[in-house]
Amino acid sequence: MKIHLKIWRQKDSHSKGEIKEYTLDDVHQEMSFLEMLDTLNIKLVKKGERPVEFDHDCREGICGQCGVMINGIAHGPLKNTTTCQLHMRSFKDGDTIYVEPFKATAFPVVRDLKINRSSLDHIITSGGYVSVDTGQAPEANTIPIANEIAEAAFDSAACIGCGACVASCKNSSAALFTSAKITQLELLPQGQKETRKRVVAMVNQMEEESFGHCTNTEACQVECPEDISVLNIARMNYEYNKSKILN
Amino acid sequence: MENSLNTKIPEGPLSEKWNTYKKKAKLVSPNNRKKLEVIVVGTGLAGASAAASLAEMGYNVKSFCFQDSPRRAHSVAAQGGVNAAKNYKNDGDSVYRMFYDTLKGGDFRSREANTYRLAECSANLIDQATAQGVPFAREYSGYLRNRSFGGVQVSRTFYARGQTGQQLLLGSYQALMRQVNTGKVSLYARHEMLDLVLIEGKAKGIIARNLDTGNVERHGAHAVVLATGGFGKIYYLSTLAMGCNVSAIWRAHKKGAFMANPSWTQIHPTCLPQSGEYQSKLTLMSESLRNDGRIWVPKDKNETRKANDIPEDERDYYLERKYPAFGNLAPRDIASRSAKEQIDEGKGVGELKNAVYLDFSRALQEYGKDVIVERYGNLFSMYKKITDIDAYLEPMKISPAAHFSMGGLWVDYELMTTIPGLFAIGEANFSDHGANRLGANSLLQACVDGYFVLPYTLQNFLADEIKNPKTDINHPEFDKAEEAVKKQMEGFLATKGNKTAEEFHKVLGSELYDKCGLSRSKEGLEKAIESIRQLRKEFKENLIVPGDASEVNSELEKAGRVADYMEIAELMCVDALQREESCGAHFRIEYQTEEGEAKRDDAHFCYSSAWEWHKDPSTPILNKENLTFETVTPSVRSYK
């Protein structure tokens, strides 16, 4: 296949970026999107040019490190799919594809398509855990958890932290990411003792990191590779208000 | 080096050794802990759990990873589950049984005392992870659910859907971030360790490159812990993340840490086959598929019909034929090797004739589609996503791929390398899995090392370090190491050839897979050593790396990693050549039984090879740790 690429190139966070055009003549349908970029990069390097920097690691859809806007959609056209699991059979011969980084104030560009998502780590740091020290845990079966509760907690815990929710939100809100962790830990008995403190800390941190507010457009769930439910956000708001009133 | 292979295994009966050690280990008082600094490189299960645990105790920890967030370490990708001897199923499991299965699974080439400790600490891990909020699978009663995995006859595997690694890692990541919040852990994401710094023979710090800015930094500490995972990515096509590498442990090796059993890499049987030259990795499909899928190839190597058109009597269900008792559930090394035999005979299927069929048609007939969807639905949809093939209608195509490094830095019972103050944990060390790792034991070892072993053994070391002041990063040894690192990077940039690091990596990987992969021979290994030397020479002369060192430069990062692969590749072949027997993942075709099974030679090779760096990659020195089995008698590993 012949593919025309329009890719965002930006030297570093201080420089101005621009779209540059490339054409690849020998793209195979079986290639993943990132392998297509690898092919482009080998060509660029051999010409002595700088390759397109992009984030990726496991290439199995689970590490959450990859992620770009493809024709304006986070992780591209396939539903519930990370960029590394998107294959070129989703495109046609002669297509023009726009590739840009996830854009949000809280995600500064490092170079080209690489961004800094440590703001998401800061949210977890503020309270996204159960405070238990190593070696102090009771026998696991002394904490029975109903099957459906464990499964529901898992649904929220499945978030891979890629930031697609932020990138697809018109307000760059991290509400889906934050609420998924809050919900997981709130559902389980181990995490409940800290719920009130946790939800306030995490929501406050989210604001400090320059994420926007959620205005219920629900674009985040649509583009989430793990199909994390927006109901998590409702729960987060409920828990937050409850904490504010009761504390 | 005198006493370099002192294993420090405590005296006494096997079941008491760890308790004995813990009772006698030296302590550091809480007030003194805050004066001590520890560097932990890697934030996977081993690194994150170790850093969090040490910080909880009060030590100052510096935690490094090359990813943009510690949550992305490759432990996240493990699917199947984690073993623990809990005997919840009342099916006769015990610490001893788990120890024995692990030892047998490793073909009696692991250290008895470490393997026993692994089984002993396994139950604690489930407790710890549960307390952290890891959503393990539950019975409807609310109690933990577990299942059976390959190579064992009890149900001891705990799991969180097909994403156990992800959930365990997020548990340890959260524990780590909690300590970042207390200020006891300083986090250095997007930092790559490029060298180890020794002062008066002890590990005292590292040189790291900030991958965002290109700055080369010095970090000092009272001890250094390497938790940098495995290096199976050396084969290029592997199940590992693109960034997995050998650099941290290899550079420590060049500073004096011994490398043990480097050639033992597990080749996983159920991966998606390569589809073309551009391919960057192979995806692992959960091994659980082998519970209901039947593996076969056409009997005729000139077969051109589609799978469904080939009649039953023209198919060879070779695992069922060769291993009637275990059939399609034969251990990984055996299943992988058998697949390769079929492929090498020209009976492989698919466009590149590089795969075998994994067929669910009988299971679908027997149980109905609903049951199969419930059991493996996510794997079938993953398969569809990658290959665009509906495996409910036609067989999957699978192929073996490099997966897990059993070898790694040699460590003693305390997980300390031959360099005082340098510890290696998780997949980066060698001790627990022998020549083959059983399923669901990798997450376990990483966690047990980090949560439960290192906090005791590192403290035992640190107790003698309190008198030493903070490491001075202006020490001449830091100057030397930094200079060497910079010189190497400048060398890469100045070469200005026309082959990218990745292209070199692909050539190296395919040569290794061919000659030092599933099966090895004297002739093949000798040829491989020759071609690796040639390739290394070409790498020096013909590498191209654009840009410069003072900026984001992923090509430069790759060049450093490939340079290290070029060196350890030779050691892997030397190790495989030297071991004139077959065991676990190491199959020398000259040493097999009449039926074509691995033939171990306990009389001559009952040891771990611990290689010492000497001048250059071609002249390593062999040290041996003789393996003694006090409790079990090594038997012939049979799965027939």
Stretch (H or E) spanning A25? none
| Whole-model pTM over 0.95 | yes
Residues of chain B found within 8 Å of residue A209, distances taken between Cβ atoms: none
Rounded to a whole number of angstroms, the distance from the CA of B279 to the nearest CA of chain A is 7
Residue A91 is classified by DSSP as S
Angle formed at CA B189 by CA B183 and CA B193, multiple of 5 degrees: 110
Give the pLDDT mean for B209-217: 98
**Beta carbons of B617 and B571 less than 8 angstroms apart:** yes
Which of B196, B193, B174, B194 has its CA nearest to residue B185?
Answer: B174
Respond yes or no: is residue B362 known to be catalytic. Answer: no
Question: What distance in Å separates the CA atoms of residue B107 and residue B583, rounded to the nearest whole number?
Answer: 6
Per-residue pLDDT at A116 exceeds 50: yes
Is the CB of A121 less than 8 angstroms away from the CB of B161?
Answer: no
Instruction: Look at phi and psi of residue B267 and say left if phi exceeds 0, alpha if psi is from -120 to 50, else beta.
Output: beta
Average pLDDT over residues B273-302: 91
Confidence grade of residue B553 (pLDDT, cut at 50, 70, 90): very high
Asked if B362 and B469 count as a contact pair (C-beta separation under 8 A), the reply is: no
- Single-letter residue type at B294: R
A32 near B CB under 8 A: yes
Least CB-CB distance to B126: which of A12, A34, A140?
Answer: A140
Across B22-47, average pLDDT: 98
- The confidence band for B461, taking pLDDT boundaries of 50, 70 and 90, is very high
Q: A1 at the B interface (CB within 8 A)?
A: no
pLDDT at B2 > cutoff 70: no
Query: A34: which chain B residues are within 8 Å (Cβ-Cβ)?
Result: 280
Residues B118-130 have a mean pLDDT of 98
Q: Is A19's pLDDT higher than 90?
A: yes
Question: Is any Cβ of chain B less than 8 angstroms from the Cβ of A85?
Answer: yes
Mean pLDDT of B592-600: 90
- Cα separations in angstroms, B58 against B53, B182, B204, B414, B448: 9, 10, 19, 20, 20
Mean pLDDT for the stretch of residues B76-103: 94
**pLDDT computed for residue B638 by the predictor:** 72
CB atoms A60 and B127 under 8 Å: no
Tell whether the model's pLDDT for residue B121 goes beyond 70: yes
Q: How far is CA B445 from CA A10, B75, B113, B408, B439, in A?
A: 42, 12, 14, 14, 12
Quote the minimal CA–CA distance from A217 to chain B in Å.
28
User: Cβ-count burial of B401 within 10 angstroms (0-12 exposed, 13-18 middle, 19+ buried)?
Assistant: buried
* Residue A87 φ/ψ, nearest 5 degrees: -110, 160
pLDDT tens figures, B417-436? 999 999 999 999 999 999 99
The verdict on a CB contact (< 8 Å) between B72 and A145 is no
Residues A38-81 have pLDDT tens digits of: 999 999 999 999 999 999 999 999 999 999 999 999 999 999 99
Candidate from A60, A116, A134 with C-beta closest to B56: A134
Interface test with A, best of B63, B90, B178 (most A CBs within 10 A): B178
Whether the predicted pLDDT of B151 surpasses 70: no
Q: What is the pLDDT of residue B1?
A: 41
For residue B4, the model assigns a pLDDT of 56
Among B141, B177, B451, select the one facing A124 at the smallest CB separation. B177
CB-based contact A111:A10 (threshold 8 Å): yes
Candidate list B111, B117, B332, B561, residue with the active-site label: B332
Mean pLDDT, all residues of chain B: 95
How is B493-558 classified by DSSP, letter by letter? Answer: HHH--SB-HHHHHHHHHHHHHHHTTSSB-HHHHHHHHHHHHHHHHHHHHHB---S-TTS--HHHHH
Chain A residues close to B185, C-beta within 8 Å: none
Q: Are the beta carbons of B69 and A117 separated by less than 8 Å?
A: yes
- Nearest of A90, A89, A81, A75 to residue A62 by alpha carbon: A81
Burial of A145-173, coded b for 16+ CB within 10 Å and e otherwise, reads beeebbebbbbbbbbbbbbbbbbbbeebb
Predicted local confidence at residue B487, as pLDDT: 98
**What distance, in Å, lies between the first and last C-alpha atoms of chain A?**
61
Taking only the tens place, the pLDDT of each residue in A179-230 is 999 999 999 999 999 999 999 999 999 999 999 999 999 999 999 999 999 9
B281 band by pLDDT with thresholds 50, 70 and 90: very high
Model confidence at B331, pLDDT cuts 50, 70, 90, reads confident
